[in-house]
Amino acid sequence: MKNVVVVGSQWGDEGKGKIVDWLSSEADVVVRFQGGHNAGHTLVIDGETYKLRLLPSGIVRKDKISVIGNGVVVDPWALLEEIEEIKSKGVEINNENLILSESATLILPFHKEMDEIREDAAGNSKLGTTRRGIGPAYEDKIGRRSIRVMDLASEENLDKRLDAVLVHHNAIRKGLGKKLFQKDSLKKELLKISPKILKFSRPVWKKIDEFKSQRKKILFEGAQGILLDVDHGTYPFVTSSNTVASAAATGSGCGPNSINYVLGITKAYTTRVGEGPFPSELKDEIGELLGTRGKEFGTVTSRKRRCGWFDAVLVRQTIKISGIDGIALTKLDVLDELDEIKMCIAYEIDGKKIDYLPAAVDDQLKVKPVYKVFKGWKSTTNGIKEFDKLPENAKIYVKELEKFVETKISSISTSPERKDTILIENPYDNNV
């Protein structure tokens, strides 16, 4: 048995879908442990494309169990819609292969409205959220007023819980001059869908313990990236959950000793969606080239991603914060056409050189990248499956990257195709 956590080591969009797809074929159980339907994975299996938002990647494979943990915030309508969408592609989904935590917090229509109200009111200070209600739902969870999956089982309890949460939301809406949210129609809609949601509901912590006893391989699947972590990211331009590997334990109900290997998905350059600091961002033709060749548009939102050089300072920092054992380097082939390639190896702020990203957002916006320049390889790496067959300059770049971030590279992706991967170390190998 070996349990693996997959996290993004940058701002998300590192290409986790392809890697998680491969790992989920090796695992018995795939667990989502944080986030909501704001971050997606694209999987291509036997020519069929699946765009997953809430459902774990194991759902498209036979004989795998998929789990949505207590750390996830769930839009019940979005979940049911996604289930139907995936089922329409011939995938069987039932309460045997999909388990939803009874403790998961629900995203409700007033959460989405609050997200939109705040972003619109913020003007130039907006955070760049996906406007799907993720943040407001997490706020209610921490404020101990959220509606959870288990609350759908009792009409009387649901009524009381809705009263409690709407007292809070309607006070804010009134203060902002917005129409008060009415409970009755929402309650009716929730009761209408509750049987469809509750049939998947289980105590996930108990199921995880059973899987461990049965020595099943568990893959914990993170969404977004460590630099969007609410504690360790570029705050306040972050998501509302913990995206680090340790969140897999709290977000599913198991101890940290359940985690045997942490894999950090790492893009060979850097991208970011939305607002916030980005020291190595390129606002020129090279940035455009990276975006075009890398097809840098969001799976869920279709938003264009900002692009820049690989920031080794940031990745080294996230590796240490999240306890990453190895990195899967993705999209190396996107760099094939460049004459030279730069890597950020330090920052300068107010004339002083530093080797980490400071916590204060004002300082993050002020830092200037210090680059090391590499010669481009000007030849294709697309589809290469052995490290020794990479162009010499590509090998130099990869080896220097590995040395600087102080963590071994376990695999290198050389195209969007699953088969086009240089496998150096298998996280499920018991000798690792």
Indicate which residues carry an active-site annotation: 13, 41
Strands 218-221 and 4-8: parallel
Query: Crossing angle of helices 155-175/183-198, nearest 10°?
Result: 130
Q: How far apart are CA 108 and CA 146, in angstroms?
A: 10
